[in-house]
Amino acid sequence: MAALPALATVADLAAALGRTFTPAQEAQAQALLEQASSVVRAYLRLDITRATTTDTFTMRRADPALHLCGGVITLPQRPVVDIASVLIDGVARHDWWQEGNEVLVRSWAWEQPPAAHRPPQVTVSYTHGWDPVPDDIRAVVLQAANRALVNPSQLRAETVGGESVTYLVPNGGEALGVLLGELEKRALRRYKILSGTVRVRGR
């Protein structure tokens, strides 16, 4: 699997700081942006950048109080932009529809083989993520990378707008690399429960 690109560029960071980097500083900035992007992705559990993925999931029974269908598959990457195909146990299906990041299968005979012995395996090919990266996500990546660039030893705490923000630093004082502060996590939080995605009907 190819490495995911940084969520902001060295040019973005240079423009935000109003400065020009030397070649050595550009390399350092690129490394820090890649670290910051990995930290943001890990926090959100999302790839963020637009991509197409084919993956296999275990279908679960639908909750009658939530879904009027036979089975449900939850896609981990959001937002879901398009679903190209849905295969259940290797067979293409068209009796499905999308709601948010869930694929709903119209009907399924759970009490008959093979579902009676094991849950169906569903292979979904879908496009997900943002293009371009949202400005607030990019801003958090730039801020986190810049903090590590200008303060490599990492502050233990600072006060921003009357609110204390703490950065984790080992007892020995050595830097941990790029970390997210509480205000940055708060700015990203809305992406952890995104619901407004494109709706696609099975064909």
pLDDT in tens, 85-121: 999 999 999 999 999 999 999 998 888 777 677 899 9
| pLDDT level of residue 178 (50, 70, 90 thresholds) | confident
Separation between Cα atoms, residue 5 and residue 2, nearest integer Å: 9
Separation between Cα atoms, residue 156 and residue 164, nearest integer Å: 10
What is the domain partition of the chain in residue ranges? Answer: 10-47+134-192, 51-128
Model-level pTM?
0.80
User: Quick one: pLDDT at residue 36?
Assistant: 97
Alpha-helical (H) ranges within 45-179 are: 135-150
Which phi-psi region, left, alpha or beta, contains residue 5 (left: φ > 0; alpha: ψ -120 to 50)? beta
Mean of the per-residue pLDDT values of the chain: 86
Which of 54, 55, 52 is CA-nearest to residue 81? 52
The answer to whether the CB of 170 falls within 8 A of the CB of 156 is no
| Range 41-54 average pLDDT | 97
Pairing of strands 121-128, 51-58: antiparallel
pLDDT in tens, 131-146: 999 999 999 999 999 9
User: Quick one: pLDDT at residue 175?
Assistant: 46
Token output for 178: 């790029």
